[in-house]
A and B are shown apart, each in its own frame.
Chain A
């Protein structure tokens, strides 16, 4: 006789740690689909982080490259102090409302001037990668350009137990970046936006209609000072300075390349790896403001780049079983 067993445990009826599914709640509390069991839910909010370790390589990038990666309109690249310093960062998130995950990103200093003359200053993210599906999707709602990839972040060893580092990222079988080295705690000049509460974060969200007839671009802005409801003064990145380590460029081994699936290694022309700044922090991510929108219409005759049933380089890579 076959064995067929169903264990219909409804965890949300056992503990308040698990919210009931949206379908059992007021429709105003439905944030994403599906209402039977969304990828992430209201227990993600407010979105906080505790004791994450941020490890940011500081790289020098010329103005032409930065302009190319910051879409204009509506963005302008920052042309003031340390404008050419770009943050190239990994994070080990240990405790978050989206669970633990590893993350990677690139941040370029940029500005946006609205029609009334208000100037917004922020770090703009052209590239981001994460190891978890829920933080990718929750971030994409706010406009973050997140993809999934395999990421490793290691800070270990030596007298302090945090003297050596190793970082790596790959996707679809290609290595995108790897860096190793030893912290020497020498002075490293950070990107201009570091620690400044008048510098927020920019993202460009793209919402495409189900019939692909148009896509709306939205420039979103996350301020660095929190709304009063959060009852937190100062920058929403709350750094714990006793854990900060640095490495000079001479202490870093570095390799980066583009892949057929991910163009960062071709687009981000790194003139110099000036150093690494690594710190532990707590964080709150608030809702984002939409500063600018533009919609791009496609004709009914629109066709993409593919040829039906013909699969090329970008469609061929080892099959994954998921994680």
Chain B
């Protein structure tokens, strides 16, 4: 008993494998907290991805349901939804799994410009750094979940996806590629004049106000990276499946995650998979609004009863598996 050791060495620094320790830098090189060891650091900039595998179900939903989950000033354009999984193998944030939903949408920024973009109402990831690197500066609506997504079998003909959070299955689907064309695709596919939009909310630590912003990521490659779309597809990697090829599909709302209850699919049109490289540039803020709270407003944000725990506070003890 009483055997103790502390290994203080940090050999990767001398070999140039890691950036200088945060406390040895100018403060402009700290982009997130904690300031002694940020959850995402400046060695993610510029944020690039290589040979990620995107597997996007194309589904339709009731457009009134879609509009009901989208805040002002974002306008939904059609009922075609991209419902996608990604295996990110090489990224500045390390490897991770991701799932998201993208609506075709527009925003009138009030200065005569209409922005067209894919808007994300739901996103889930397997790792912490990409969650907070997406959520905090840009407003991506990321949560953590268990995500499995893969292709296997002869010629990788079969695919399977599964997502679970807090003991409830949010979604699963599997099937076989036929490489037949889909009857429709999301409007924004391949178009450089359609970017990506997020709705960011930054609340003061004292809850006295919240700043609401619509952030916009253009799809043109940023300066110095050439021309074209910042999603650089490998066309030889594309596989497709029609709705009839998707052997099974299950989606459900849960007490913790409302997606299945809010936008149930009315039609599963098919699946489009491809391999791509990507760069994520800084985002523009195209709309903002500050909502102030006075003492009289605090009542409506204190929904719970102190020390009384309900259905939403009861679930299996989470064990972050990236241990």
Q: Which residues of A contact B (CB under 8 A)?
A: 2-12, 15, 17-19, 21, 23, 25-39, 41-46, 48, 50, 68-69, 71, 95-102, 125-128, 130-133, 136-137, 140-151, 170-173, 181-182, 203-213, 215, 217-218, 220, 229-230, 249-258, 260, 262-267, 269-270, 273, 282, 284, 287-290, 296-298, 302-306, 308-309, 311-323
Contact = CB atoms under 8 A, between A and B. Distances in A.
A315 B262 contact: no
B5 A42 contact: no
Interface of B: 1-10, 12, 17-19, 21-23, 27-39, 41-48, 50, 68-71, 87, 89-97, 120-122, 124-129, 131-132, 135-139, 141-148, 166, 175, 198-207, 210, 212-213, 215, 225, 243-255, 257-262, 264-265, 268, 277, 279, 282-285, 291, 293, 297-298, 300-304, 306-307, 309-323
A72 B188 CA distance: 48
A270 B38 CA distance: 21
10 contacts: A6-B265, A28-B301, A34-B121, A39-B135, A45-B304, A97-B309, A206-B33, A251-B1, A254-B3, A321-B126
B4 to A, nearest CB: 4
B46 A143 contact: no
A264 B42 CA distance: 18
Given A45-B304, A131-B317, A210 B139 contact: yes
Contacts of B68: 23
Given A42-B301, A145-B36, A322-B144, 14 more contacts: A2-B247, A2-B249, A36-B141, A39-B142, A99-B314, A136-B128, A141-B205, A210-B200, A220-B205, A250-B2, A266-B10, A319-B87, A322-B97, A322-B321
Which residue, B125, B245, B304, has most C-beta atoms of chain A within 10 A? Answer: B304
A271 to B, nearest CB: 9
A97 B278 CA distance: 38
B33 A205 contact: yes
Contacts of B175: 2
Considering the complex of A and B, which 5 residue pairs feature the smallest CB-CB distances, nearest first? A150-B323, A145-B34, A304-B45, A34-B141, A322-B126
